[in-house]
Amino acid sequence: MKALIYCYRSGRLNNLLGLAMAGILARPLTCPPLTADTFPYERLAGAELIYIALHGSPRARVLRGDEQIPALALERVQDGPRLDGAIVILEGCYQAETLFPQAFLARGARAVFASPERTFDRRLGLGAAGKAGLEIVRRLRAGASPDAAAQDSGFLAFVGQDINGGFV
């Protein structure tokens, strides 16, 4: 499964190791040094799994990296490339309360998983958000439906049309 991981810089090791435990090997992109202006939005198109661990807040139009640096802009996602059935996991705080899930679905994501509340992670080892993301990825890789993958995770599953026009 081709994955794109984008996280706040201080969480790169946790995200790398957590996803490796789920069988996903990819080097995380981080903010900093990337920002909402320099993030390579075109790379979203080639990913089957998009795992974003950035700081959020209710109704945010920008997700943030370390030091509150703008990392991902809603408008750039809305204007971004087609995703052709990618799975998106938004691990940060309140991301189900933003327009990011709908933006990813509108660009062609098959499903988006996002937290409706504040999430906590740890500097070393996986916190609750990282463990939830790890479990969702494991379940999806084992063939679970989006709803089944989200069960008991604390994350909401948003599902949309697949690339063949049916609902997943």
pLDDT digits (tens, 9 = 90+) for 98-157: 999 999 999 999 999 998 888 766 666 677 788 888 899 999 999 998 888 988 888 888
Q: Where are the domains of the chain?
A: 3-159
Instruction: Between 16 and 79, name the one with better pLDDT.
Output: 79
| Concatenated DSSP letters of 70-121 | EEEEHHHHHTS---TT-EEEE-STTGGGSSHHHHHHHTT-SEEEE-SS----
Q: Measured between alpha carbons, how far is 48 from 125 in angstroms, rounded to an integer?
A: 25
pTM for this prediction: 0.90
Rg, Å, the chain Cα set = 14
- Kindly report the number of other CB atoms within 10 A of residue 88's CB atom: 27
In the numeric block, which tokens belong to residue 142? 């084992």
Span 152-167, average pLDDT: 63
What gap in Å lies between CA 1 and CA 21, rounded to an integer? 14
The pLDDT tens digits for 38-91 are 999 999 999 999 999 999 999 999 999 999 999 999 999 999 999 999 999 999
Q: Please check the confidence at residue 164 and state whether its pLDDT lies above 70.
A: no
The pLDDT of residue 165 is: 36
Fold of 3-159: Rossmann fold (3.40.50)
Residue 124 structure tokens: 């070393």
